Amino acid sequence: MKKVYVGLRGDIIHPGIINIISEASKYGEVIAGVLTDKAIAEYRKLPLLTFEQRKDIIYNLKGVSQVVEQNDWSYVPNLYKYKPDYIIHGDDWKSGSLSKVREDVYKAMKELGGEVIEISYTQGFSSSVMVNEMNKIGTTPEKRLASLRRLINSKSIVRILEAHSGLSGLIIENISVTKDDKEVFFDGIWSSSLTDSTSKGKPDIEVVDLTTRLQDLTNILECTTKPIIYDGDTGGKAEHFAYTVKTLERNGISAVIIEDKVGLKKNSLFGTEVKQELADVEDFCHKIHLGKQAQVTSDFMIIARLESLIAGYSVDDALERAKHYIEAGADGVMIHSKEKTGQDIKEFCQRFHSIYKDVPIVLVPTTYNQFREEEFAEWGAKIIIYANHMLRAAYPAMQKVAETILMNSRSLEADSMCMPIKEILELIPGGK
């Protein structure tokens, strides 16, 4: 029997998918290539369902004879592997981001002596549109919690941006650009203690009690679906940290980052006049251990933030501390530095990654922001956090508007600096 290849995401099954499979089965045995999370994540948002769930669903559809993994956004590797007589696709790929994929498929099938069959796109049904509509409904704590590990396993770089309010969270949830035929967006949200306290007009002083932080965090949780990484400062006392982990995990937060320093809280990037005191390695390991014991799921992550470079110690010191923290159960490490060249960060990443290839490295390139994400990935980094840019952008914009109104005794001159109310309402679900 002839072989017919069909590439599918399989996240949402609608009449368009059924039509393609039904048409394909007329030509022979249908091989359904289900795109893995990794194949999708570099070009689109992660599917709602895991690969195994999507694979099971496609396998049980009438007309499908075989289900295989498609590990690449392009169909071509699987076409050479399975050598089908036909490949069937909707004619919607003639333009847009899939047009290059279409071109490559035609070349490959010509070499293989096969045929490309295009069928009319089923109007009124779009998996991407349906997924976006479902995201507007919201998500569950369990699903959000698990999404960070899925992203880490699927993407070369996981891109995180700071949010300090529900509105800034909505921007992160919805913003995207098209770049090199890829949809580029932020994968998750950073809940920063600095920007949270600053947005309230208060100093950045560590508070063990989560109550005040959770008020704004809840606002972000209610209007977003993406994973959240929580800035836990030092984590407080080890016994208190165990309860922090329980609270965060229960609310669907994906990870907490705690730093190995002690004493009066001082932002790592603020001046050099105060010597930073590092935590005792054994005490910090004990805190990590208690946190790991407290969590219920295997999805929640505790990430150890290394302050060695900030405190003036060597890369060797940071690596030695990282070794102990990983042995204590840390799921990842974050390395910080005030050095603008970024060379100390690069050295740490390369040396660490050569030993712990499967342990994610988190970077916050505030001072060494001349490097692109692709370079960080080459160093071995996995998560990039843009830690305070939303707040830093908002303050000067608001100040400028306020000054303009005062200067002109009216708001007309400020209109060009402000987002129209209509667009604000459209940004917020149900706001019209």
Q: When comparing pLDDT for 324 and 425, which is higher? A: 324
pLDDT for the residue 125: 55
Confidence of residue 289 (pLDDT cuts 50, 70, 90): very high
Give Dmax (Cα) for the chain: 80
pLDDT at 208: 45
Q: What is the pLDDT of residues 356-377, one digit of tens each?
A: 999 999 999 999 999 999 999 9
CB 259 within 8 A of CB 305: yes
Do residues 286 and 320 touch, judged by C-beta distance below 8 A? no
Q: pLDDT tens-digit profile of 145-178?
A: 999 999 999 999 999 999 999 999 999 999 999 8
Query: What dihedral angle (degrees, nearest 10) is formed by the CA atoms of 61, 67, 72, 77?
Result: -130
The C-alpha atoms of residue 278 and residue 281 are separated, in whole angstroms, by 8
> H-helix or E-strand containing 214?
helix 211-223
Tens digit of each residue's pLDDT (9 = 90 or more) over 105-161: 999 999 999 999 999 876 555 666 656 666 666 789 999 999 999 999 999 999 999
CA 339 – CA 311 distance, rounded (Å): 11
Predicted confidence at residue 432, as pLDDT, reads 58
Residues 194, 196, 198, 201: is their CA dihedral positive or negative? negative
**Whether residue 269 has pLDDT greater than 60:** no
- pLDDT, tens only, 64-92: 999 999 999 999 999 999 999 999 998 88
**Antiparallel, parallel or unpaired: β 188-191 and 158-162:** parallel
> In the prediction, which pLDDT does 426 show?
78
Percent of the chain residues past pLDDT 90, beyond the cut:
76
User: What structural domains and CATH numbers belong to the chain?
Assistant: 3-128 (3.40.50.620), 138-387 (3.20.20.60), 393-427 (no CATH)
**273 pLDDT more than 80:** no
Residue type, 132: N
Cβ 116 vs Cβ 42: under 8 Å: no
Would the pLDDT of 209 be above 50? yes
**Rounded distance between C-alpha atoms, residue 157 and residue 376, angstroms:** 8
Closest CA to 325 of 260, 384, 278: 260
315-327 vs 281-294: helix crossing angle, rounded to 10? 40
Model confidence pLDDT, tens digit, residues 378-387: 999 999 999 9
The DSSP 8-state label assigned to residue 98 in this structure reads G
- 28, 86 in Cβ contact below 8 A? yes
Identify whether 204 is a catalytic site residue.
yes
Task: State the Cα–Cα distance between residues 141 and 248, nearest whole angstrom.
Answer: 10
Q: Is the pLDDT of residue 264 over 80?
A: no
Residue 431: predicted pLDDT: 59
Q: Which of 56, 85, 92, 204 is catalytic?
A: 204
pLDDT range class, residue 276, cuts 50, 70, 90: confident
> What average pLDDT is seen over the chain?
91
- Which element (helix H / strand E) includes 188? strand 188-191
- 206 or 40, which is more confident: 40
